[in-house]
Structure 1
Amino acid sequence: MANSNVWDAEWEVSEEIASQLIYGQFPQLSSKPIRSLGHGWDNTVYLVGGEYVFRFPRRKVAALLLNMEGGILPKLAELLPLPCSKPLFYGEGSSEYPSPFLGYTYMPGTFPIGLTDTERSLSAAKLGEFLKKLHTFPLEVAREHGAPKDHRNLNDIAARKEKMLRFLSDLKKYVSKEEYTEIEDYLQQLDLERVQPKEVFLHGDLHFKNMLVDETGKISGIIDWGDMNIGHPACDLNIAYSFLPPAARSSFFAVYGDVDEETKILARLIAVYIPMLILLQAASDGDTNIVDEAKANIKRALAD
């Protein structure tokens, strides 16, 4: 039977299988307990002894990118002003689970869920600095390690808008009439059809479930780099709209640098698009906290 949702897993890895794989291939970890940290679209995640995080791909596309992560992430650690995942353990699949997997240093922090505007504003300059540095990573180095060109055709706003209207129909039963109308009106009024292509090195999947904050609510790390690619900077700049309140965006761009109007339009569109997808999966999983945060991301992205 075909998968009914784009986020459905091609492979599942239970805690029992994860334990067998980790302890069998890395016996030095066998005294450390393992517990689930949940899953996203691409990976199931386990915490080992409070020191290491292991990501097990749920889909073939995620498995293909592990070698890229292993080559690029150590280089990024030297460049970026925020901590990022560092791969340490390179695992191989088995008869019970066919994919390679990676273990990383554990990064403390929590997802930025339910933060106030004041708390979010604390991270504006740091996020601007982070993306400014990330987007200067040499493209030739990224390509050498397998970073693909963005396959999502983000420059085509008209196609993205059409896709989002279809997703909006699926969302209708999970959002209020006012929320539905706000998103629909935004999309219908969007008349730019395409932006000029640009190429920088991207995280590629920057949203609240791939960001960590400390006890004050300030950004403390960026995780899940499996979608690294070369494409339009608006893909990552979406967080200026989905994560930051309107009053903090000037501080972000003052550090990141000047951005043209087309890029801002695309960044805002992605800032609505990604939370729509997160909302759909969270609603399917019955995760009301993520549903509420995704809705708040969309509302923030649409605010001026």
Structure 2
Amino acid sequence: MNPWDATHPTTISQAKEKLKQFKDLEPHHIELIGTGFDHTVYAVNHQYAFRFPRRKMGYEAMLTESNVLHQLVNCNLPIPIPQPVYSGQASQDDFPFVGFTLLEGNVLTDEDDTALVSKEGKRLGQFLKHLHSLNVTAPPDHLNRLSIKVRKPKLIHALQHVQSFLPKAVSNQLNCFLTNITTSSNPKGTTFVHGDFHPKNVVVKNGFISGIIDWGDAHIGHPAIDLAFIFMAIPGENREDFFNEYGAIDKQTEEMARFRALFTSVMLLQYATDMDDDNVKRWALVGIENALE
């Protein structure tokens, strides 16, 4: 079985049946807008995004997402986030599901312009500075997301599957980085973070970021987990606008953010090659190159 396959897929006809519990949504206009690692997402009546868990881990993430989004409703973040509206009941052996406001646009990986994020450094700096200052109740990082000791072997294993897609110079640079990086444990953190900030969770419209989605990995941890997106999506020479807004970071935080950027990008590359997704593959390769700058 492909590790990305769903244990609980939801077809359009199944989604329509589940949505009948919400009388105010009838009649339904429904279309598939995304199939992620953990959820199948349908746009309903051009207003809402309904997320149906594809596996148990997706259900657990959905509970976290719903919890934190309710807390963030009145926080006035400078980049839009989904607003929770509907909470659907499970049917038979399936999972419950949720409906959020639909953020207009496409996910970043659908965009051809891989330099697009560079012009959004200032807004991203404002967004993450605000987010990381919030007092939100969320679970701790029990997955060791920033533990180089735990994640480095997984990264090396994944590299064996995608090494052939990397230019030789990039491959050599990446191997050098992994050889020299300090093997540290998961850092203690007290910051509220998104926790899964990467190109598939960023929405873009008309060349600008229009939303940040998929908050199922939000937790109390270390800000480097979110800063990784800056290192994978913005080339080194263009990061000044971001850090002018966010503030300076220390060397240890930078090293962890770069490592996480590489880890996420390599995992996205493995996903893209398994799923034959050229768009995600393009952004994953750019993410690796940017993180090494």
Q: TM-score, normalised by structure 2?
A: 0.92
CA contact (8 A) 2:65 2:217 kept: no
| AA aligned opposite 1:260 | D
Q: Secondary structure at the match of 2:32?
A: strand
CA contact (8 A) 1:155 1:197 kept: no
CA contact (8 A) 1:56 1:102 kept: yes
Aligned residue in 2 for 1:280:
270
Answer yes or no: is 1:221 the counterpart of 2:221. Answer: no
Greater displacement, 68-77 / 201-210: 68-77
Aligned residue in 2 for 1:11:
8
Answer yes or no: is 1:125 the counterpart of 2:122. Answer: yes
Deviations 1:161-184 (A, max 9, x none): 222111101223444444433322
Q: Secondary structure at the match of 1:89?
A: strand
Aligned residue in 2 for 1:160:
151
Superposed displacement of residue 94, structure 1? 0.8
Greater displacement, 24-33 / 285-294: 24-33
User: Following superposition of structure 1 onto structure 2, how do residues 1-304 of structure 1 map, counting pairs within 5 Å?
Assistant: 3-5=1-3, 7-22=4-19, 24-79=20-75, 80-95=77-92, 98-112=94-108, 113-117=111-115, 119-138=116-135, 141-142=136-137, 147-194=138-185, 196-215=187-206, 217-303=207-293
Superposed displacement of residue 108, structure 1? 0.7
Superposed displacement of residue 150, structure 1? 0.7
Superposed displacement of residue 204, structure 1? 0.8
Q: Which runs of 5+ in 2 are unaligned?
A: none
CA contact (8 A) 1:268 1:301 kept: yes
| Cα distance in structure 2, aligned partners of 1:247 and 1:172 | 26
| Cα distance in structure 1, aligned partners of 2:36 and 2:223 | 23
Deviations 1:137-195 (A, max 9, x none): 21xx41xxxx2111222343233222211110122344444443332222123235347
Q: Secondary structure at the match of 1:9?
A: coil
| AA aligned opposite 2:96 | P
Superposed displacement of residue 196, structure 1? 4.4
CA contact (8 A) 1:77 1:83 kept: no
| Cα distance in structure 2, aligned partners of 1:157 and 1:64 | 25
Q: Percent identity?
A: 36
Superposed displacement of residue 31, structure 1? 1.5
| Cα distance in structure 2, aligned partners of 1:162 and 1:110 | 33
| Cα distance in structure 2, aligned partners of 1:218 and 1:292 | 19
| AA aligned opposite 1:285 | M
| Cα distance in structure 1, aligned partners of 2:57 and 2:203 | 25
Number of residue pairs matched? 290
Q: Secondary structure at the match of 1:172?
A: helix
Superposed displacement of residue 64, structure 1? 2.5
| AA aligned opposite 2:41 | V
| Cα distance in structure 2, aligned partners of 1:233 and 1:92 | 34
Superposed displacement of residue 88, structure 1? 0.6
Greater displacement, 246-255 / 181-190: 181-190
| AA aligned opposite 1:38 | G
Superposed displacement of residue 291, structure 1? 0.9
- CA distance 1:207–1:29, shift in 2 (3 Å): same
Q: Secondary structure at the match of 2:265?
A: helix
- Structure scoring higher RCO (CA < 8 A, sep ≥ 6) equals 2
CA contact (8 A) 1:120 1:245 kept: no
Q: Secondary structure at the match of 2:255?
A: helix
CA contact (8 A) 1:195 1:262 kept: no
Q: TM-score, normalised by structure 1?
A: 0.89
| Cα distance in structure 2, aligned partners of 1:286 and 1:161 | 25
Q: Which runs of 5+ in 1 are unaligned?
A: none
Q: Secondary structure at the match of 2:234?
A: coil
| Cα distance in structure 2, aligned partners of 1:157 and 1:300 | 19
| Cα distance in structure 1, aligned partners of 2:102 and 2:5 | 26
